[in-house]
Amino acid sequence: MLSTKTHFSIGELCEEFAVTARALRFYEDEALIAPERRGTQRIYSERDRARLAWILRGKRVGLSLTDIKELLDLYDVGDGRRTQKLKTIERCQAQVDALKQRRVDIDATVEELSKFVALLKGQTD
Amino acid sequence: MLSTKTHFSIGELCEEFAVTARALRFYEDEALIAPERRGTQRIYSERDRARLAWILRGKRVGLSLTDIKELLDLYDVGDGRRTQKLKTIERCQAQVDALKQRRVDIDATVEELSKFVALLKGQTD
DNA sequence: CGCTCTGTTGACCTTTACGGAAACGTAATG
DNA sequence: CATTACGTTTCCGTAAAGGTCAACAGAGCG
C-alpha cells in the first residue's frame, strides 16, 4: 500500500520534514502556505505538502522566504495574463542565473577545501 | 605593469570588493581579518585581501561568518599538531559534503525553474 | 472526571550580519 | 589655519527566521 495519504496534521508534516510547528505557522503567517481549517486545527493537503517541500529546498539553496514566496506565487499564476507572463519568465530566469552563479562559487569553494584536505592528508609528518 | 600592490587601505578594499568599511571592521571585530595598523589606520596586506575574498565567497555560498572563521583558522594551523590535523580534515570534509549537497539542491531547483520557464515560453497563448 | 496529547494564538526573545550616525583623530591641500 | 577627505570607535537600530513560553481548547482514555 503506497501510503496514499492526502491530508496531514501539523505534527505529521513536522516529523516528516523535521521542522517545528512554529516554523509552519510562521510560513503561514508569511503567506507561503495556506492549509485549510477544521475548526481551529490546520489540515495540510498534498499540495500544501508539496509547497512545503519546495520551501525547504528553496531555503537549502539559500533563497529567502521572500524569494520563495515570489516563485511559488509565480507558479500559481502560471496561467495568468500575457503581460504577467513575461515578468514571470524574467524573474524565474533571474533566479536561475543567480543559482547558477552560486553553483560556481560552491564549486570553487569545494575545490579549494578539497585541495587543502588532500594536502593535509598527504603530509608525511 | 601587473598592478602588484601589496598593501591596501580600507577604502581600496571596500571599492574593490563592493563592501562597506563598516563590514570590514565588523569582520575584524569577529576576528576574521587582522590588518596591521600604522598608528590607528588599518593596512591590509595581500594576505588579508585574499582572506577577504575567501570570506565573501564563503558568504555567497551560504556559510556563516562563524563557519568561515573556522575554515580560515584551520587553514592557518594547517601545519599544526597531528592530533589537530585529523579534526581539521574532518571538519573540512564535513563542509565539503554539505556544500556538495547544496549543489544537488541547487541543480534540482534550477531544473525545476527552467522547466517552468520553458513551459511558459511554450504557451501559444 | 481528571490526565495527557496535540494543537492554537499571542507576546516577547534571540541570533546573524550588518547599516547609520555621533563624535573624534589625522593628513593633505588651497 | 580651515576645509575636506578618510579613518576610528562606540552605541543604537534593523531585518530575517524562527525559538520560547504562557494560557487555553478539544479529544481520547482509564
Cross-chain CB nearest to A99 (options B110, B116, B119): B110
Amino acid sitting at position B92: C
C-alpha span between A106 and A109 (Å, rounded): 5
Dihedral angle of Cα A76, A81, A83, A85, to the nearest 10 degrees: 30
Q: What are phi and psi of B23, to 5 degrees?
A: -65, -45
Cross-chain CB nearest to B108 (options A57, A106, A113): A57
Residue A40: CB less than 7 A from any atom in strand C: yes
CA of A87 to C1' of D20 (A): 41
pLDDT of residue B122: 84
Is B62 an interface residue toward A (CB < 8 Å)? yes
What is the pTM assigned to this prediction?
0.85
Q: Which of the four pLDDT bands, split at 50, 70 and 90, describes residue B86? A: confident
Check residue A32 and report its DSSP letter: S
Q: What is the mean pLDDT of chain B?
A: 87
Q: Where are the beta strands (DSSP E) in chain A?
A: 7-8, 36-38, 41-45
C-alpha span between B102 and B62 (Å, rounded): 9
All cell numbers assigned to B123: 504557451
Of the candidates B47, B46, B42, B97, the one whose C-alpha atom is nearest the C-alpha of residue B72 is: B47
Instruction: Give the residue whose CA sits closest to C16 at C1'.
Output: B64
B103:A99 CB<8 A: no
Mean pLDDT (whole number) for B23-34: 93
Per-residue model confidence as pLDDT tens digits over B58-74: 998 888 899 999 999 88
Output B87 or A108, whichever has higher pLDDT.
Answer: A108
Of the candidates B72, B79, B48, the one whose C-alpha atom is nearest the C-alpha of residue B58 is: B72
All cell numbers assigned to A26: 510562521
Residue of B nearest to A89 (CA): B117
C-alpha span between B24 and A114 (Å, rounded): 27
Q: DSSP letters along A68-91, please?
A: HHHHHHHHHTTT--HHHHHHHHHH
